[in-house]
Amino acid sequence: METQTTALRLVQTLEEELDQFPLASVIRSHADLTERALCAWSEHVQLLGGPGRRFWDHLAELMYDEVGVLLGAAFVLVQAGITETVSIVKRIYELNGQTIGKTELMSLEAMHAPDSTHSYVVIANAAANFYKHRFEWSRDWLGCVSSQQQATINLIRDIGMRPDIDLADNLFCAVRAITGSDTRRLGDLASLVVEQWRARLAPCLRIRFQLPTEP
């Protein structure tokens, strides 16, 4: 009975949106910052005469890199919500004498990108890992990488990322894979990736482990 009560309380944690509101709020703030940074970069490039990438000045390069950093920070925040969710669900399985791998879990009840075998959760997690660990990879993303790093590289290539394009352009590939647009729904990342996933996981776990509605 104690084990079931603990599992039920963990499921209820998944159902509590309050823990996700601060995360969603910060991501929306990052979306606003990103939009402003993009606008500032666009205005600067227009002042230069709207030249092609080869003719950007140093300031234009720095401004576009800032956009990439803002996007990367947003994905790392989303990954924090993913990690918390994975930890909760794994614990529920363990309490019931079962195990589930992280890869399987990140596709369990998760929405999938259109025409893709990858869930939003998996894409967001890979984008965060790309942002955090890209400096550990060779410039062409080949050579000595771990099996986990190679899995990340394979996935991000699937959604259009390449080693020869900018940080921002690469991360926009992940944004489009999840939201279908560049920045217009960037603020929805927390909801699309984490909150909706948790909302689908909770009833699934209640049924799977026959948990009552109340402790």
Share of the chain above pLDDT 90, in %: 57
Q: How confident is residue 121, by pLDDT bands cut at 50, 70 and 90?
A: very high
Side chain identity at residue 1, one-letter code: M
- Which phi and psi angles does 112 have, rounded to 5°? -110, 145
If one compares 145 and 180, the residue with the highest pLDDT of the two is 180
Q: Tell me 192's DSSP state.
A: I
Which range, of 75-84, 121-130, 135-144, averages the lowest pLDDT? 135-144
Q: How confident is residue 20, by pLDDT bands cut at 50, 70 and 90?
A: low
If one compares 30 and 212, the residue with the highest pLDDT of the two is 30
- Which phi and psi angles does 52 have, rounded to 5°? -65, 170
pLDDT of residue 17: 67
pLDDT of residue 181: 78
Helix, strand, coil % in the chain, rounded to nearest 5: 70, 0, 25
Does position 199 have pLDDT exceeding 80, yes or no? yes
User: Nearest 10 degrees: CA dihedral of 148, 150, 151, 153?
Assistant: 130
Burial group, residue 196, by CB count within 10 angstroms (0-12, 13-18, 19+)? middle
